[in-house]
Amino acid sequence: MNQKKNRKKKHEKRNTIQNMMQNISAWMDIQSLLMTVLSAMTIVTTIVMGLLIYSRFKMSVKETAISNAESRMGKELLAYTLKAFHGIGVLPPIDISESGKPFFADHSFEFNISHSHGRVVLALSDKPVGVDIEHSGRAIPELVRRRFFKDGEATVEDWTRFESYSKLSGEGIYSAVYPPVEKDVFFKSYTISDNYVVSVCTHTDSFPLKIVKIDL
């Protein structure tokens, strides 16, 4: 009788162990499945992020290429203007001030260049000058308007005037106070084709009647 009971207990114990092993095996299968899914999700995420990074990289490269092209155009425009309007065939050496503004080392002329979306504008003068160009449809962010304009309101013309003033000295927008407190600061704004606004800032109230367009 006791032997039968012992055999029954051993059988039950064996069944319990087998059930536990089956449950463990099933749990491990689930874990393995979860790990596979998580791994797949990680790979997909990496690929998606890689594509996003690649797209942003392509955009950055494109923007850099455009910026570099516009910079080259600015230099070509400067060389052309000196030769065509002043008979200077060789571009004078260009230095950079401590504030980062380019200037001719011989101080023969003052100049400033601005570019926006493939449009390049040059201001050449015998006095310090700043110039800026922007598309008339550009929205000036509220944060920018509040930061740089007293009433928090600004049109594209206001912004180009502010930029041109900051480039007059070369100190940049974060050092410039607008409207300027100096009395000998003058502005002139132009609207050119393709809805672009150009503003010029200098220390003399003498501006050209129009902007000369040149195809390089």
Asked whether the beta carbons of 176 and 162 are under 8 A apart, the reply is yes
pLDDT tens sequence for the chain (216 residues): 544 445 555 555 455 545 544 444 444 444 445 454 544 444 444 344 444 444 444 455 555 655 666 678 888 888 888 888 889 999 999 998 888 889 999 989 899 988 888 788 989 898 899 999 999 988 888 888 888 887 788 899 999 999 999 999 887 877 777 777 778 899 999 988 778 999 999 998 888 877 887 776
Q: What is the pTM of this model?
A: 0.67
Q: CA-CA distance, 171 to 97, in Å (whole number)?
A: 10
| Separation CA 89–CA 82 (nearest Å) | 7
- Give the number of residues written for the chain: 216
User: Domain residue spans in the chain?
Assistant: 1-67, 92-202
Q: What is the DSSP string of 94-126?
A: EEE-TTS-EEETT-S-EEEEEEETTEEEEEEES
Strand ranges (DSSP E) for the chain? 94-96, 102-104, 110-116, 119-125, 129-135, 186-192, 196-202
Cα–Cα distance, 138 to 158 (Å, whole number):
12
Dist CA 117 CA 73 (whole Å): 12
b or e along 14-36 (b: 16 or more beta carbons within 10 Å of the residue's beta carbon)? eeeeeeeeeeeeeeeeeeeeeee
Residue type, 51: L
Q: Looking at residue 32, what is its pLDDT?
A: 47
Q: What gap in Å lies between CA 115 and CA 133, rounded to an integer?
A: 6
Pick the CATH number of 92-202 from 3.30.450, 3.90.470, 1.10.3470, 1.10.10: 3.90.470
As a whole number of angstroms, the distance between CA 114 and CA 111 comes to 10
Q: List residues bridging with 135 in a β-sheet.
A: 196
Contacts 24+ apart (CB under 8 A), 39-45: none
| pLDDT of the residue at 156 | 93
Q: Hunting for tokens 């596979």 — which residue is that?
A: 36
pLDDT of amino acid 62: 54
* pLDDT at 23 (0 to 100): 46
- In the structure encoding, which two tokens stand for residue 164, read together? 């041109």
Check residue 53 and give its pLDDT. 43
DSSP state of 215: -
